[in-house]
């Protein structure tokens, strides 16, 4: 990802800034969609000669990976049961808890594509680095954004 990598990184910084300022999530969706398009194009070019099934769109993977990672970190840091953590995150994302639980179990078991597992692990590290003060508010804010994005692809 050379020139597109620069665009991707820049868009990522803009997306984070806008979401932290509390702007309406729907105004951020075009940026997120473009980031997904760039990554999907890069992955397709890298996989030209490889065999394998169709990849899930990046945008869907990122949203689900963030939600699953949020649940996992919440389970560890807040000493919640796994089901409680899934329910907490799913509530703020306004998605069905079973969808989140299924994705989390599959990613933790390594049953998904490597890029899905890598994305999840990246988010676990990032979320794990949140300070205690920002931890729950950031999870709630991002879960809402991810849920909105999943409902409005």
| Residue 4 clears pLDDT 80, i.e. is over it | no
- Count up the domains in the chain and report the number: 2
Containing structural domain, residue 40:
1-48
* Distances, alpha carbon 104 to alpha carbons 6, 15, 30, 48, 63, in Å: 30, 25, 26, 29, 12
Q: Are residues 34 and 71 in the same domain?
A: no
pLDDT per residue over 38-75, tens digit each? 877 877 666 555 545 566 777 788 899 999 999 999 99
Same domain, 83 and 132: yes
Same domain, 43 and 80: no
Mean of the per-residue pLDDT values of the chain: 85
Q: Which residue has the tokens 């729907």?
A: 26
User: What is the C-alpha separation between 105 and 117, in angstroms, rounded?
Assistant: 11
Residues 35, 76 within the same domain: no
- The stretch 26-39 carries a mean pLDDT of 81
């Amino acid at each position: 990802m050379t020139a597109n990598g620069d665009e991707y990184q820049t868009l990522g910084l803009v997306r984070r800034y806008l979401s932290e300022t509390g702007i309406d999530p729907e105004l951020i969706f075009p940026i997120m969609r473009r980031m997904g398009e760039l990554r999907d194009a890069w992955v397709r070019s890298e996989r030209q000669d490889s065999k394998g099934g169709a990849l899930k769109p990046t945008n869907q993977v990122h949203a689900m990976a963030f939600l699953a990672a949020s649940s996992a970190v919440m389970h560890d840091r807040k000493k919640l049961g796994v089901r409680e953590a899934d329910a907490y995150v799913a509530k703020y994302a306004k998605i069905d808890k079973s969808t989140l639980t299924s994705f989390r179990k599959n990613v933790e078991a390594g049953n998904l594509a490597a890029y899905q597992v890598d994305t999840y692990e990246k988010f676990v590290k990032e979320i794990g680095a949140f300070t205690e003060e920002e931890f729950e508010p950031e999870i709630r804010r991002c879960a809402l954004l991810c849920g909105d994005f999943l409902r409005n692809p």
